[in-house]
Structure 1
Amino acid sequence: MLACIDIGNTHTHFGFCTPGGLSAATDTGEVKTASLEALLPLLETRRAELTAIAFCSVVPAAVPRLRTALVALDLPLWQLTHEVKLGVDITYPRPAEIGQDRLANAAGAAALGPLPAVVIDLGTAVTFDIVTDRGGYEGGIITPGPSLMTRYLHEHTAQLPLVEDVTSPVTSAIGKSTVEAMRIGAVLGFTGLMQACLDGVEGDLTAAGEPTARVITCGGAYALVRNRLRQPTTDIPDLTLRGLAAAWALNQGSG
């Protein structure tokens, strides 16, 4: 069993995977990235089953904190970077700039197949990552998530409140209060943004002679676009963790 950890800007997600990443992660959960030390007791409950710990991080300052917090487990700690085997090539011009979670998603998409795939990871920021048989990891798109939209409006205006509920369904496109109007703008506008980005990516892939891409959604807010895009989507909420497990196996010579 492998403990997989995805350190994000706000939350750190974890789960337990079989090496190879083809099975769903079990006992998944999250802690605040500011409180990484809370991971230790959660991982200790499975210590007897664990072979190693694989992780990725988009917060460089959190990496030494994680290493210190988990030293008591006395397990190999492996980090996914652009320099490791992912199961696909990287044709992106500056690989070091790619978020490690995005590389894990690419490894997961390649392991689960088929390619080409467009991975949409919906978190604080929303990323689109394009993975093909021919080009491997080719690049993608970064946009703000809906919570960032409402937070920005609150922080940069004098009277608009902070709206934190951006997941409840919208029943009308005409808001009858300030909060409702902001929610509609975030939820409906966000879906439109996702559709425009996806249409643009699919147009480029078609022009390059690629077959229709599989669209995979993951991340904490993946349900926001479920059944709202014109293209069918495959929901794999734990794709990042599965990608970590797949990449770890490749780099151990067992995948």
Structure 2
Amino acid sequence: MLLALDIGNTSINSGIFSADKLIRVYTFNLAVSKSYFDKIFNDFPQIKIVAVCDVIQQWQKMENLFLQRNISVFKIDTNTKLFFKSNYITHNTLGKDRLSAIAGGIALFPNTALLIVDAGTAITFDYVNDKGVFLGGRISPGINLRFSVLHTQTKKLPLLNKTINFPKIGTTTNEAILSGVLDGVVKEIEGVITDFKQQNLISKVIFTGGDAKFLHNIIKFNIFVLPNLVLKGIYELYKFNNQ
């Protein structure tokens, strides 16, 4: 039994894999990780391996919790072998979460041209062609980051939260912020999808990340929402590196 950990900027998404199936998912804040790990170990004492994707260098603070239980550790890094070809020039700077999402997408949809959109602190767009080659992507500020920057980098603009109901044109400052941030994100994502589709470059669009379900309700295109895509990719990378 394997525990996959996706350690993000503010939270940890974790999944239990048994016989190639994801059987349980736990999501929790970084600040309470120890108590949640205790719960996971109590629920699944059969865990023998932990596979880790850590984007903010938090794993060192947690590693002893696993070593004390004699759990083997597999950590995704720049030396991790890939089961797909990558044309990314600066491989050592490619986020491990992006790498894992790409691996998950290719494993689930082999020989399929994919646009993988991971909507979290940042919004990343990653393109895989129909031969399973990762060709590159783009990185943009996420929804909450856009709200935060408007608040912290100005003197008077309030800090707002996302809402499914937002105007196209704001008649108050709050409405103007909601329109600028949320409609701006929607237009950006739909614009990227449109560009790729018009060039017949993609046949599937996959959304993952903390804001994936929210965006699914307001994006006009047919998309697949796979909240645990990164966990799937972590598991597949572990399997490939431990054949």
Using structure 1 for the length normalisation, give the TM-score.
0.86
Q: How does 1:5-154 map to 2 (within 5 A)?
A: 5-18=5-18, 20=20, 23-24=21-22, 26-32=24-30, 34-60=31-57, 62-114=58-110, 115-134=112-131, 136-154=133-151
- Does 1:185 find its partner at 2:175? no
Segments of structure 2 that go 5 or more residues without pairing to the other structure are none
How do residues 233-248 of structure 1 correspond to structure 2 at under 5 angstroms?
A: 233-248=223-238
Q: Are 2:13 and 2:25, in contact at CA under 8 Å, matched by a contact in 1?
A: no
CA pair 19-100 structure 1, distance change in 2 beyond 3 A: farther
CA distance in 1, matches of 2:65, 2:48: 18
Structure 2: distance between partners of 1:183 and 1:230? 19
SS of the residue 1:158 aligns to: coil
Partner residue, 1:231: 221
Q: Report the secondary structure of 1:92's partner residue.
A: coil
Q: What is the RMSD computed on CA atoms of the aligned residues?
A: 2.1
Structure 1: which 5+ runs fail to align? none
Residues in 1 aligned to 2:198 and 2:24: alpha-carbon distance in whole angstroms = 37
Amino acid at match of 2:14: F
Cα distance, 1:10 vs. partner?
1.7
**C-alpha distance 25-96 of structure 1, shift in aligned 2 (>3 A):** farther
Q: What is residue 173 of structure 1 aligned with on the other side?
A: 168
CA offsets per residue over residues 114-168 of structure 1, 9 Å max, x none?
Answer: 42111101101111111224362221110001111111110111111111x21x2
The CA distance in 2 between the partners of 1:18 and 1:129, in whole Å, is: 28
User: What is the aligned length?
Assistant: 242
Q: Distance in 2 between matches of 1:139 and 1:19?
A: 32
Q: For residue 125 of structure 2, what is the amino acid of its counterpart? A: F
Q: 2:210 aligns with which of 200, 215, 220?
A: 220
Percentage of matched positions with identical amino acids: 26
Q: What letter matches 2:233 in structure 1?
A: G
Q: Is the 8 A contact 2:166 2:175 kept in 1?
A: no
Secondary structure of the corresponding residue to residue 85 of structure 2: coil
TM-score (norm: length of structure 2): 0.89
- The structure showing larger relative contact order (alpha-carbon pairs under 8 Å, at least 6 residues apart) is 1
